[in-house]
Amino acid sequence: MAQVGPVHWAGQLNHEAFGGIMSSIIPSMLAFIHLYFDYFLDFLYGLYYNSKKKIVSASKDPILELSATEMARKIREGELKSEEVVLAHINRIKEVNGLLNAVIDERFDAALEEARRVDENIAKGVYAGRDFKQKIFLGVPFTTKGTTVCKGLDVSFGLVPRKGMKGTEDAKVVENMKNSGAILLALTNVPQLSIWSEAHNPVFGITNNPYDTTRNVGGSSGGECSIIAACGSAIGIGTDIGGSIRIPAYMCGLFGHKCSPTVTPTKGLTFRNGSEQDRTMVVAGPISRYCEDLIPGLKAILGADACRSLQLDKKVDIAKLKYYFIEEMPSLLISPVRSDVMKSFRSVVEHFRKMTGKAQELEIEELAYTARLYTKALANEGNDFSYDVTNKKYRAVWYRELFKYIFRCSNLSFSSVMVLINAQVLRKATSEWFEENTEKIKSELLSKLGNDGVLFFVSQPTTAHYHHLSYLRPYNLLYFSLFNLLKFPVTQVPLGLSHDGLPLGVQVVSAPFNDHLCLAVAQELESVFGGYVPPNSQA
């Protein structure tokens, strides 16, 4: 296997501007400088943050440690009442939310009422066998993120002018989840309009990581992952347009699945009305502590019919799959991968190499263009961030908003100003160049993966970094966004904790509509590498 660290990373660069020896020396030097600059930033932020670190206490209620699937089974079979399951989660949210600031709105009383009705109906034998089967999560509480519209709950999307506004009807994915019998409990924090890798906005503030409160929870489904990792919610609905399920799932040590395109009903996802389904990069999917919740979660969220094209119930023999891996994104905009992350990534590859006798490393030069490709893809989405971010009052221009931000009279979070700068200042790609290079990456991967191949991809170069460091490492999320650009399915899989007690994880990727392959490999990884580990579990 290739050597560790920045030298290998820079070695993958192929920059036409440099000839001969210079083509390896200069990028190597820059990578080296970048790595030490990154260490220096951690050191600096650590001086400020380290004395403030707290870890969420371990939960004492065994109900909270069950998977959502197991909760549903116990409720169905009368071993547990839905009411006690819902109440256990409400109590846990009350216990931890002061520390985490993950939940931003709730419907505890209504949820308890619905739980009691479920218990009554089960006792009366209202549900026949078939009904039980369709109601996969009957009586199980769930949460969703603040940009997924829920009737009666906050729909500010983190925007100041929308403060206090409540939803008038459920997003389709919420409606679907409710139809599976699950009970909506609460709404969780996001960055403005769900476009950033940290859950922070001027309406609700910042969400903390349960493994270390001075660390980023990721975004945009950050509040969602924070409360699920802390056992305050059994299962959550996430959405992912550039990593919004997988970034926080990685940083909080959870499972999350970004599904294949065209199967997600988009009505009620921020301002979307449902007409985007086939063209958008956004998908919805489950976030959970246990792998076994992903397939039922997908069926519940997307609806059983929509799921049929994902082949979720197809049997997979993981020993017969082909395994590929790419260790690092070849771009100087992105932090080099740290040694603890690389070590865990390589142990994953090694496991499947031993199982099958082979795991092949891929090199795709065009990955170096991911930043510009993804920016263009986001611009192609059709919705105008600069207009949406002012709640459609006017089109925001980056320098005016930056000026207002500096003089503290802005309604935008700094992340939104950064998004404007990225969209309005940086050189734009032409459609031709975009199509050509996206197609090159896609066809290269499709030719390898086919219908029996899986790609391992690093989730992030570092474990969850300190709060606000995302402003200085904005392009690290390209490890995730690449697969929105390509519209490939990905399962984010937790791999236990690193030496500093923060979650590790890996992305498992397949060709479109082979979601079942990612999910089968995720199951194997969970049983071998330990998956989710609760915060403070040794204490």
Ligand X SMILES: *[C@@H]1O[C@H](CO)[C@@H](O)[C@H](O)[C@H]1NC(C)=O
Q: Which residues are known catalytic residues?
A: 145, 220, 244
* Among the listed residues 17, 128, 409, 539, the single contact to ligand X using CB under 6 A: 409
Name the residue nearer to ligand X (CB basis): 52 or 400: 400
**Which residues within the stretch 275-314 sit at the binding site for ligand X (CB under 6 A)?**
275
The answer to whether residue 160 forms part of the interface with ligand X (CB under 6 A) is yes
Which phi and psi (to 5°) does residue 507 adopt? -100, 135
Cβ at position 409, least distance to ligand X in Å: 5
Name the residue nearer to ligand X (CB basis): 17 or 409: 409
Measured CA to CA, the distance from residue 88 to residue 71 in angstroms comes to 12
Give DSSP secondary structure letters for 177-221: HHHTT-EEEEEE--SGGG-SSS-EETTTEEPPBTTBTTB---SST
Cβ at position 275, least distance to ligand X in Å: 4
Cβ at position 303, least distance to ligand X in Å: 19
Cβ at position 219, least distance to ligand X in Å: 22
Cβ at position 258, least distance to ligand X in Å: 23
Name the residue nearer to ligand X (CB basis): 410 or 514: 410
Looking at 94-102, 174-182, 218-226, 406-414, which segment touches ligand X (CB under 6 A)?
406-414
The answer to whether residue 161 forms part of the interface with ligand X (CB under 6 A) is yes
- Which amino acid appears at position 142 of this protein? F
The count of residues interacting with ligand X (CB under 6 A) is: 8
Looking at 77-85, 113-121, 310-318, 402-410, which segment touches ligand X (CB under 6 A)?
402-410
The answer to whether residue 260 forms part of the interface with ligand X (CB under 6 A) is no
Measured CA to CA, the distance from residue 218 to residue 224 in angstroms comes to 10
Neighbours of 393 (CB within 10 A): 11
Measured CA to CA, the distance from residue 232 to residue 219 in angstroms comes to 18
**3-state DSSP assignment of residue 240:** strand
| Cβ proximity of 398 and 420 under 8 Å | yes
Which phi and psi (to 5°) does residue 261 adopt? -75, 170
Lay out the site mask for ligand X across 486-515 (x = CB under 6 A, - = otherwise).
------------------------------
Cβ at position 404, least distance to ligand X in Å: 6
Looking at 29-37, 103-111, 145-153, 408-416, which segment touches ligand X (CB under 6 A)?
408-416
Residue with nearest beta carbon to ligand X: 161
Cβ at position 420, least distance to ligand X in Å: 14
The answer to whether residue 411 forms part of the interface with ligand X (CB under 6 A) is yes
Closest CA to 349 of 143, 521, 172, 502: 521
Neighbours of 129 (CB within 10 A): 6
Looking at 54-62, 183-191, 283-291, 404-412, which segment touches ligand X (CB under 6 A)?
404-412
Measured CA to CA, the distance from residue 167 to residue 165 in angstroms comes to 7
The answer to whether residue 355 forms part of the interface with ligand X (CB under 6 A) is no
Name the residue nearer to ligand X (CB basis): 275 or 360: 275
Between CA 506 and CA 511, with CA 507 as vertex, the angle to 5 degrees is 155
Neighbours of 22 (CB within 10 A): 11
Looking at 168-176, 282-290, 407-415, 422-430, which segment touches ligand X (CB under 6 A)?
407-415
Q: Is 356 exposed, middle or buried (0-12, 13-18, 19+ CB in 10 A)?
A: middle
Is there a cis peptide before residue 220, judged by omega within 30 degrees of 0?
yes
- Which amino acid appears at position 98 of this protein? G
Q: How many CA atoms, within 13 angstroms, populate the side-chain half-sphere of residue 429?
A: 21
The rounded Cα 437 to chain-centroid distance in angstroms is 25
Name the residue nearer to ligand X (CB basis): 344 or 413: 413
Cβ at position 244, least distance to ligand X in Å: 20
| Cβ proximity of 211 and 465 under 8 Å | no
Neighbours of 89 (CB within 10 A): 29
Cβ at position 163, least distance to ligand X in Å: 7
**At which residue do the structure tokens 């992340």 appear?**
415
The answer to whether residue 386 forms part of the interface with ligand X (CB under 6 A) is no
Cβ at position 304, least distance to ligand X in Å: 25
Looking at 80-88, 361-369, 403-411, 493-501, which segment touches ligand X (CB under 6 A)?
403-411
Name the residue nearer to ligand X (CB basis): 11 or 146: 146
Q: Is 528 exposed, middle or buried (0-12, 13-18, 19+ CB in 10 A)?
A: middle
Name the residue nearer to ligand X (CB basis): 168 or 273: 273
What six digits make up the tokens of 63? 């109900």
Name the residue nearer to ligand X (CB basis): 160 or 528: 160
Name the residue nearer to ligand X (CB basis): 135 or 272: 272
Name the residue nearer to ligand X (CB basis): 133 or 166: 166
Sign of CA dihedral 213, 214, 217, 222: positive
**Which residues within the stretch 263-282 sit at the binding site for ligand X (CB under 6 A)?**
273, 275
Q: How many CA atoms, within 13 angstroms, populate the side-chain half-sphere of residue 510?
A: 27
Rounded alpha-carbon distances, angstroms, from residue 296 to 182, 246, 374, 429, 507: 12, 18, 31, 40, 20
* Among the listed residues 73, 404, 428, 440, the single contact to ligand X using CB under 6 A: 404
Interface with ligand X by CB under 6 A: which residues? 160-161, 273, 275, 404, 409-411
